[in-house]
Amino acid sequence: MLTKRIIPCLDIKNGRTVKGVNFIDLKDAGDPVFLAKQYADMGADEIVLLDISATLEGRKTMRNIVLNVAEHINIPFTVGGGISSIDDVSEMLNCGADKISINSSAIKRPDLINELSQKFGSQCITVAIDAKKIGSEWVVHTTGGTIATNLNLFNWAKEVEQRGAGELLFTSMTNDGTKSGFANEALAKLSKTVNIPIIASGGAGIKKHFVDVFKKGKADAALAASIFHYGNLTIVDLKRILKQQNIQVRL
């Protein structure tokens, strides 16, 4: 059985790690290189670095931060934000990233997923999906969660898989930063919709939320930010709890 992964996420703006609620009200959470090394030393399975304002501001992803993180950690890490071409992916992988994450650029031009998976292999292509529950439907959003699309979460996830993505990173905008738990019902449905690994994001607040996201949400990995950034929970303690609940993790 594959082990479940715990993945701290570093949302980066202007070279600093930030965290907000429902994608707004951003607060400084520290230096990304320092935090990435700290989490690697604490037992994180992977790290995700997201330049959250790159697409919104039309910029490219933070090259120097990626180089520095690669020098200081020995676990896989994913980079996202402002990536929209084969050249962008080549640069990030050459800087030391193990995987890249695309979101808005994939929605704008879905063929990009096919092109990247064919060029670099699906194992290093993660497609991030930000979605908000509106009425009874999960609506995909783009450009840092600021623009609603006409895409349904589950339909888009299936298309993403068919186009060659190796992994999904689903962030529930409804749950993001609320510390009220992951969107387990949507995650469970998503796990039945696709056959590629799903990283759950948005809503982690207490240890039980991680137990639930694996048992109820059927996620393959759980991503969190503020609960780790502000010292509410250590990764080692979390993994011990998960192990006690018969959830396979790497200790």
The predicted structure's pLDDT at residue 3: 96
Q: How many CB atoms lie within 10 A of CB 109?
A: 13
Q: Which residues of 22-38 are buried (b: 16+ CB within 10 A; e: fewer)?
A: ebeebeebebbbebbbb
Q: Is 130 an annotated catalytic residue?
A: yes
Are 97 and 70 contacting, i.e. CB atoms less than 8 angstroms apart? yes
Contact by Cβ (8 Å): 190, 198: yes
Q: What is the pLDDT of residue 23?
A: 47
pTM over 0.75: yes
Ranges of beta strands (E only) in 22-75 are 24-30, 47-51
Residue 51 annotated to the active site: no
Longest dimension (CA), the chain: 45
Task: Write down all domains in the chain, each with its CATH number in brackets.
Answer: 5-244 (3.20.20.70)
User: How many DSSP H helices and E strands does the chain contain?
Assistant: 10, 12
Query: d(Cα 221, Cα 201) in Å, to the nearest integer?
Result: 9
What CA–CA distance (Å, rounded) separates 98 from 124? 7
Look at the block and give the residue holding tokens 């992916």: 89
**pLDDT score of 56:** 53
Q: Which of 11, 45, 176, 212 is catalytic?
A: 11
Segment holding 80, helix H or strand E: strand 77-80
Taking a C-beta distance cutoff of 8 angstroms, is the pair 200, 213 a contact?
yes
CA distance 51 to 10: 8
Which residue is catalytic, options 45, 88, 130, 220?
A: 130
Q: Which residues contact 230 (CB under 8 A, 6 or more apart)?
A: 29
Give the pLDDT confidence score for residue 60 in this predicted structure. Answer: 59
Altogether, the residues listed in the chain come to a count of: 251
For 244, other C-beta atoms within 10 Å of its C-beta total 9
Average pLDDT across each block of 10 residues of the chain; the chain has 251 residues. List them in order: 91 78 57 92 95 62 88 96 93 96 96 98 97 96 89 98 98 89 98 98 94 98 84 88 96 88
